[in-house]
């Protein structure tokens, strides 16, 4: 990756130039960041320490939580420090690292959600063969394939972006993101735009088709279940996953594929928050709020506070 740029640093667009709002931004992002770390670390430690959670479903959930921690850590801490210091500059090298981390983590998130859809398909449609199909070798291989693909996609898109020559510095986003960086280039970006559009469209389309096929089979099987409790249990594990996949996929596609005419600072900031902050924050809440196994693990590990929280989270009977 050759650096032919005349720019040695970038200036990230903050949420406000007013000092009071910058402090507010810092406090809000700090709260969201700490909540995300706490929720995802609780999932990881619970899955690692509780023997009956050593199953493929919770293994994938722990890996997803690890990716979520990396995902939100690649953008939010930098934005918080910039607001606190009232200095929105980021070095060229720091911007390269940030773009790579965002693309790699977003790809890993999408890939793991697709893998988790396959896991749910096997568990519901082929329950007697579940442990035969989803053995640990298969789980490790699917996870490794998702992570390796994410690294390759991150390296490719980062290298493709920073081969350009940049003549402007102000990135209209609170972190370095490819669509905003392309606007700063004084060289032809047509290939980059087509390449990025094709990558996002391909991954989104493949993931969506895979999800639709899996859940068509799942819902077809669930509707044949006679027991109401069995239907509820199946839906309770599928609906949260389907919700998070849809939210994440559509916000990423909206951020990277929408026409330039639909771009504005407020829309770009809102879309970035939806796909870079909301999924890492909401995944622990959605996957644990009605999951009795995770709730029991939380009670065991955190005692009275976890018991109070899970009682509040459980629906009233």
The predicted-structure confidence for 201-256, as pLDDT tens digits, reads as follows: 888 788 888 888 888 888 888 777 766 666 666 666 677 777 778 777 777 777 77
pLDDT score, position 301: 61
What average pLDDT does this structure show over 177-184?
A: 88
Q: Are 61 and 99 in contact (CB under 8 A)?
A: no
Q: Is 168 left (phi over 0), alpha (psi -120 to 50) or beta?
A: beta
- Total Cβ atoms within 10 A of residue 118: 18
Residue 183 or residue 246, greater confidence = 183
Buried b (16+ CB within 10 A) or exposed e, 157-189: bbebbbbbebeebebbbbbbbbbbbbebbeeeb
Give the pTM: 0.84
The predicted structure's pLDDT at residue 139: 93
pLDDT value of residue 317: 37
Q: What confidence score (pLDDT) does residue 162 get?
A: 92
For residue 291, what pLDDT is reported? Answer: 65
Residue 122 makes CB contacts below 8 A (sequence gap 6+) with 129, 130, 133, 134
Q: Report the candidate in 48, 30, 36, 49 with the shortest Cα–Cα distance to residue 283.
A: 36
Q: Are 117 and 209 in contact (CB under 8 A)?
A: no
What residues have CB less than 8 Å from 246, skipping those under 6 apart? none
Query: Would the pLDDT of 73 be above 80?
Result: yes
**Measured between alpha carbons, how far is 152 from 148 in angstroms, rounded to an integer?**
6
pLDDT at 135 > cutoff 70: yes
The mean pLDDT of the chain is 82
Q: Residues 121-125: what's their mean pLDDT?
A: 86
Per CATH, the number for 9-302 is 1.20.1070.10
Q: What are phi and psi of 87, to 5 degrees?
A: -145, 110
Neighbouring residues of 148: CB distance < 8 A, sequence distance ≥ 6: none
Does pLDDT of 172 surpass 80?
yes
Percent of the chain residues past pLDDT 70, beyond the cut: 83
Q: What pLDDT, on the 0 to 100 scale, is given for residue 228?
A: 67
pLDDT of residue 269: 80
Specify the pLDDT at position 203.
84
Segment 10-54, tens digit of pLDDT: 998 877 778 888 889 899 999 999 999 998 998 898 888 888 888
């Amino acid at each position: 990756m050759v650096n032919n740029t005349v720019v040695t640093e970038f200036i990230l667009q903050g949420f406000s130039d007013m000092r009071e709002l910058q402090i507010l931004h810092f406090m809000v992002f700090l709260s969201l960041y700490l909540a995300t770390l706490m929720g995802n670390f609780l999932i990881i430690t619970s899955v690692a320490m509780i023997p009956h959670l050593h199953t493929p479903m919770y293994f994938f959930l722990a890996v997803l939580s690890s990716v979520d921690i990396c995902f939100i850590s690649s953008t939010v801490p930098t934005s918080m420090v910039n607001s606190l210091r009232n200095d929105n500059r980021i070095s060229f090298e720091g911007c390269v690292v940030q773009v790579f981390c965002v693309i790699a983590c977003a790809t890993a998130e999408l890939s793991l959600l697709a893998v988790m859809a396959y896991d749910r398909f096997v568990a519901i449609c082929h329950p007697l063969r579940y442990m035969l199909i989803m053995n640990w070798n298969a789980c490790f291989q699917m996870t490794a394939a998702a992570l390796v693909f994410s690294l390759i996609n991150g390296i490719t898109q980062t290298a493709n972006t920073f081969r350009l020559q940049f003549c402007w510095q102000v990135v209209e986003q609170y972190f370095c993101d490819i669509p905003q960086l392309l606007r700063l280039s004084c060289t032809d970006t047509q290939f980059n735009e087509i390449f990025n559009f094709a990558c996002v469209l391909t991954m989104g389309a493949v993931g969506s088709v895979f999800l639709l096929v899996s859940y068509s089979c799942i819902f077809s099987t669930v509707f044949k279940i006679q027991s109401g409790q069995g239907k509820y249990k199946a839906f309770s594990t599928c609906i949260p996953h389907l919700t998070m996949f849809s939210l994440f996929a559509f916000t990423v596609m909206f951020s990277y594929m929408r026409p330039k005419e639909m771009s504005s600072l407020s829309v770009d900031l809102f879309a970035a928050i939806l796909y870079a902050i909301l999924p890492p924050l909401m995944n622990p809440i959605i996957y644990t709020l009605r999951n009795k196994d995770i709730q029991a693990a939380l009670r065991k590990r955190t005692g009275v506070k976890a018991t109070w929280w899970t009682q509040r989270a459980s629906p009233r009977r």
